[in-house]
Amino acid sequence: MKADVVVVGAGPAGLAAAIAAKENGADSVVVIDREERPGGILRQCIHNGFGLHVFGEELTGPEYAARFIDKANALGVRFLTETMVLNISPDRVVTAVGPETGLIAIEAGAMVLAMGCRERSAGALMIPGSRPSGVLTAGTAQRFVNIEGYMPGREAVILGSGDIGLIMARRMTLEGAHVKMVLELMPYSGGLKRNIVQCLDDFNIPLKLSHTVTRLHGRKRLTGVTVAAVDESGVPIKETEEYVPCDTLLLSVGLIPENELSREAGVEIDPTTNGPVVDSHLQTSAPGIFACGNVVQVHDLVDFVTEEATRAGRAAAQFLREKSACGGWKTAAGRGVRYVVPQTLCDDGEDKTLFFRVSGVYRDCATVARCGDKVVARKKRPICAPGEMERLTIKGADICGDITVTVEGV
Amino acid sequence: MIYDVAIVGAGVTGAMIARELGLCDLSVCVVEAEADVASGASRANSGIVHAGFDAAPGSMKARMNKRGNEMMHKVTRELGVPFEECGSLVVAFGPEEEKQLDILADRGMANGVPVKRMSGDEARRMEPVLSRDITAALWAPTGGIVDPFSLTIGAMENAMSNGVTLYLNSRVTAITRTDGIWELFAGDNRIRAHWLINAAGVYADDISRMAGGESFNIRARRGQYVLFDKSMPVRTKSVIFGVPSDRGKGVLFSPTAHVNMIAGPTAEFVDKEDHDTTREGLQEALAGVQRYAPAVDARYAITVFAGLRAMPESHDFIIERSKSAPGLVNVAGIESPGLTSSPAIAEYVKELLEEAGVRLDPKPGASRIRRPIERFSEATPERQRELIAMDRRYANVICRCEQITEAEIVESIHRPCGAKTVDGVRLRIRAGAGRCHGGFCMPRVMAILARELGRDIDEITKSGAGSWILDGRIKEGTR
């Protein structure tokens, strides 16, 4: 089997990429997803707040996904659902398996990786204590409540203030659970400000910054957690330990791009983002393999995923006509910046938008992009924090070499 | 009915004994307190097949270790269990520790176990990640690694295929003996048998006392572990030990039979119910392996756990017919190297019964062979197509990290000694044992368990009674 463009993942990134590829001239576009229906994680995000940037209105996750699914269907995008990609070869042969199709191989003219991310699990945190049931990621709890219709517990503590954790604090409360507190190891939240207000403050759920769980209790089911404040280096302060009875601990402690398939395809991975190294057309180090959405970098808003994926889909269609890898210049994270995406910039004269995250909370500062000594972009920021993605746009004509992004005092 | 033999404890020792006796023309049952086999030390250990150089020469441990090591090739082949003779290295830092290597080398000679001294550089040529500060090492080519869950489950499954009965959720609370017949009060069951074999791990002292057997004390020595993701670049091919101390063989760094790397165990005496990890213990395990291989990175950890070794006061295995309670065989204090020794222990227990006059004729039709669950992800593409043609459920991948299909999960549930819990599925076929640790597949595994066992999804537990996962439907209030 052959296809012009094969997209792996039918979440928001894959959907937008498939549509863009089709609209930009790709004849046959196939989207592969392991779930029974397209939509990805949006299917379980039944809260609203999606689409403000793309549609100028507030949609729920399933509504947002449906707009793209309908459009993709109208354009003739082919969906292979309940199908798991087992392998991607560097020359873009995709091996997949599903009950409908059996074991299949698809030769792709171009590919878009849109596998999204997974949540960090409890084990990775090395929380001491017992290993009872009742400790699960916020996303798994969200699936239980919103898709399966079951409660994962009644008395909950949430560790980590990532957005899914905040959303689930509200969701569990609305379903009658008692969410006792949200704990965050860092001195600032990892989630969006609006989620802290709407999901915690509005329900009187305390957010304890610089706090963590130091012990799990309960042999069979969780019976409680020990909670403690941490010092500046994140080490728990013994004297502050406090026992909090609960039957559920939800974890929202970070998202990890799912790049096992990318690695097998020989795609170079950025150790900071854990996503593929991409150029300004979202092409990875493997020619003809593009990547977008949370598989590249964890985004704050689905709208931004859509935007990035649209560019990736367009570039994939472009690749079918004109196989060009762009050399160009590199970007680098300077002082106060954790990473910059894209990692390389094509020398095509187009304006470039750089996406990055800062490494701490900074007030009254500016984000600055420099090409050598020359400032090519600068934005004043009253406050910037790691929880909110930053961006700077550089005029194509201004790019004269490698770019470094920094945070500076005003 | 009255069983010929009742075995208390479905850890690797009990399971191996059950397998051995199941091949004989006897009626045998195994009585287990927990909801699954391998729920104690057999679940939480290093998975090492010890070469056998460090046990005191002449001890029961030395004898069982050496024999068990020799038997492991055949047993794992028969049971279809992952085993690799990867060798082990004891590494020494400086002259003091090198003296220990000499002692170990001498013991190896006395125990008939091949060992070879080598320099630090030779060790680093074998294992490039080892520290520059290692000055010498002792190489034991017959050391190895085995999957401890598969070994226990495989042995029990084989036993059950040959007619052995397994009673789960059956904690023994009282034992009586009338007219030469044992009666066990075990959970909701009352089980009668002519012979009683006590393989109850850390509780073997209680069982012996209940049966009127010898009075000995078993203490629980906890070992804490850190398991690393397969993608961790710092790896060794063989098992790396430090020199032993009075706290045992010390922390090791080793590949597992499933290509993860493992660090641990610590050693501290605790209460028999205390399976907790501690901050200090996990740090000790990490620091221990970072001493051998400084580049080990805690960020690759995917889980932590602790297991309890059953420590006898005598420091040696207690495997004997009771003198005070006829009809009782104690198999107690099976600490490390218990996993390695388990096939030899089973063989020896059989000899003890034979000495006591039990007739051990071969059971007609019984087989030593257990076919493992065929792994879709390990099959060739041709075989994968055949499997899918046979059963469409092979095309439905449920666990994405380990690429486990619905067909494999269903098989793990319906086999003899099948999975009944989420942990049970994980231990049998590793669904949920990968890097996301069940984040994505747990709801789907639960749905399959519920369907196959004819239960509601909220009746499915993590590891048996009390470990509930879901508390009823939304909108309906608490159950």
Asked if A220 is an interface residue toward chain B (Cβ–Cβ < 8 A), one would say: yes
Contacts of A118 in chain B (CB under 8 A): 435-436, 439-440
Q: What is the ipTM of this complex?
A: 0.93
**Which of A235, A238, A230 is closest to A209 using CA atoms?**
A230
Q: What pLDDT is stored for residue B249 in this prediction?
A: 77
Nearest CA to CA, how far is B307 from chain A (Å)? 11
* Angstrom distance (rounded) from CA B254 to CA B33: 31
**Residue position matching structure tokens 């499997």:** B387
Q: What pLDDT is stored for residue A349 in this prediction?
A: 85
Q: What pLDDT is stored for residue B434 in this prediction?
A: 80
Q: What pLDDT is stored for residue B259 in this prediction?
A: 87
Q: Which residue of A has its CA nearest to B305?
A: A131
Domains of chain B from N-terminus onward: 2-42+149-218+314-355 (3.50.50.60), 83-147+219-311 (3.30.9.10), 376-459 (no CATH)
**Residue position matching structure tokens 């609006």:** A194
Asked if A151 is an interface residue toward chain B (Cβ–Cβ < 8 A), one would say: yes
Q: Give the number of A-B residue pairs with CB atoms closer than 8 Å.
A: 144
B71 and B344 Cβ atoms separated by less than 8 Å: yes
**Which of B382, B380, B381, B375 is closest to B429 using CA atoms?**
B375
More confident residue, B412 or A399: B412
C-alpha radius of gyration, chain A, whole number: 22
pLDDT tens-digit series, residues A341-360: 999 999 888 899 999 999 99
Nearest CA to CA, how far is A119 from chain B (Å)? 7
Single pTM value for the model: 0.94
pLDDT (mean) for B14-25: 98
The segment(s) of chain A belonging to CATH 3.50.50.60 are 1-118+256-323, 121-253
Does the structure show a pLDDT above 70 at B477?
no
A401 and A329 Cβ atoms separated by less than 8 Å: yes
Q: What pLDDT is stored for residue B206 in this prediction?
A: 98
Determine which of A8, A144, A235 to mutate to test the interface with B (most B C-beta atoms within 10 Å): A144
**Which of A202, A186, A210, A217 is closest to A361 using CA atoms?**
A186
B445, containing H or E segment: helix B442-453
Asked if A154 is an interface residue toward chain B (Cβ–Cβ < 8 A), one would say: yes
Q: Do A102 and B388 touch (CB under 8 A)?
A: yes
- Average pLDDT of chain B, as a whole number: 95
Token representation of residue A368? 């600055």
pLDDT (mean) for B328-334: 98
Q: Do B301 and A148 touch (CB under 8 A)?
A: no
B234, containing H or E segment: none
The vertex-B51 CA angle with B48 and B57, nearest 5°, equals 125
Catalytic annotation on B50? yes
Q: Do B470 and A34 touch (CB under 8 A)?
A: no
Does the structure show a pLDDT above 60 at B478?
no
pLDDT tens-digit series, residues A146-166: 999 999 999 999 999 999 999
Asked if B444 is an interface residue toward chain A (Cβ–Cβ < 8 A), one would say: no
Does the structure show a pLDDT above 70 at A410?
no
Per-residue pLDDT band at B394 (split at 50, 70, 90): very high
Q: Which residue of B has its CA nearest to A252?
A: B439
Nearest CA to CA, how far is A396 from chain B (Å)? 39
- Find the CB nearest B385 among A103, A124, A154: A103
Nearest CA to CA, how far is A333 from chain B (Å)? 22
A346 and A392 Cβ atoms separated by less than 8 Å: no
Domain at A121-253: CATH code: 3.50.50.60
- State how far Cα A262 lies from the chain centre: 16
DSSP string, B28-82: EEEE-SSSSSS-STTTSS--EE--S-SSPTTSHHHHHHHHHHHHHHHHHHHHT--
Domain at A326-410: CATH code: 2.60.40
Options 3.40.640.10, 1.10.10.60, 3.50.50.60, 3.40.50.300; which CATH number does A1-118+256-323 get?
A: 3.50.50.60
The vertex-B434 CA angle with B431 and B437, nearest 5°, equals 85
Asked if B302 is an interface residue toward chain A (Cβ–Cβ < 8 A), one would say: yes
pLDDT tens-digit series, residues A356-403: 999 999 999 999 999 988 999 999 999 999 888 999 999 988 888 999
Q: What pLDDT is stored for residue B342 in this prediction?
A: 98
Q: What pLDDT is stored for residue A347 in this prediction?
A: 86
Give the total residue count for chain B. 479
Token representation of residue B351? 């000899």
Pairing state of beta strands A2-8 and A29-32?
Answer: parallel
With helix as H, strand as E and coil as C, how does chain A read? CEEEEEEECCCHHHHHHHHHHHHCCCCCEEEECCCCCCCHHHHHCCCEEECCCCCCCCEEHHHHHHHHHHHHHHHCCEEECCCEEEEECCCCEEEEEECCCEEEEEEEEEEEECCCEEECCHHHHCCCECCCECEEEHHHHHHHHHHHCECCCCEEEEECCCHHHHHHHHHHHHCCCEEEEEEECCCCCCCCHHHHHHHHHHHCCCEEECEEEEEEECCCECCEEEEEEECCCCCECHHHCEEEECCEEEECCCEEECCHHHHHCCCCECCCCCCECCCCCCECCCCCEEECHHHCCCCCCHHHHHHHHHHHHHHHHHHHHCCCCCCCEEEEECCCEEEEECCEECCCCCCEEEEEEECCCEEEEEEEEEECCEEEEEEEEEEECCCCCEEEEECHHHCCCCEEEEEEEC
pLDDT tens-digit series, residues B413-459: 999 999 999 999 999 998 888 878 788 899 999 999 999 999 999 99
A205 and A179 Cβ atoms separated by less than 8 Å: yes
Contacts 24+ apart (CB under 8 A), A320-324: A320/A4, A320/A5, A320/A25, A320/A26, A320/A109, A320/A110, A321/A25, A323/A287, A323/A288
Nearest CA to CA, how far is B246 from chain A (Å)? 25
* Angstrom distance (rounded) from CA B18 to CA B151: 13
pLDDT tens-digit series, residues A222-246: 999 999 999 999 999 999 999 999 9
Go through B117-131 and write b for each residue having 16 or more CB atoms within 10 A of its CB, e for each that does not.
Answer: bbebeebbebbebbb
Token representation of residue B350? 């059989």
Asked if B461 is an interface residue toward chain A (Cβ–Cβ < 8 A), one would say: yes
List the 399-428 stretch of B: residues with Cβ below 8 A of A.
400-401, 403
* Angstrom distance (rounded) from CA A99 to CA A84: 10
Q: Do B465 and A139 touch (CB under 8 A)?
A: no
* Angstrom distance (rounded) from CA A27 to CA B460: 47
Asked if B437 is an interface residue toward chain A (Cβ–Cβ < 8 A), one would say: yes
Nearest CA to CA, how far is B474 from chain A (Å)? 5
Determine which of A34, A80, A81, A221 to mutate to test the interface with B (most B C-beta atoms within 10 Å): A221
Contacts of A144 in chain B (CB under 8 A): 443, 470
DSSP string, B86-132: --EEEEE-SHHHHHHHHHHHHHHHHHT---EEEEHHHHHHH-TTS-T
Asked if B109 is an interface residue toward chain A (Cβ–Cβ < 8 A), one would say: no
Per-residue pLDDT band at B401 (split at 50, 70, 90): confident
Q: Do B442 and A136 touch (CB under 8 A)?
A: yes
Q: What pLDDT is stored for residue A393 in this prediction?
A: 96
Q: What pLDDT is stored for residue A190 in this prediction?
A: 83
- Find the CB nearest B384 among A103, A175, A220: A103
SS3 B6: strand
Q: What pLDDT is stored for residue B210 in this prediction?
A: 98
List the 324-383 stretch of B: residues with Cβ below 8 A of A.
377, 381
B305 and B227 Cβ atoms separated by less than 8 Å: yes
Q: What pLDDT is stored for residue B155 in this prediction?
A: 98
Asked if B203 is an interface residue toward chain A (Cβ–Cβ < 8 A), one would say: no
Q: Do A121 and B302 touch (CB under 8 A)?
A: yes
List the 69-108 stretch of B: residues with Cβ below 8 A of A.
none
The segment(s) of chain A belonging to CATH 2.60.40 are 326-410
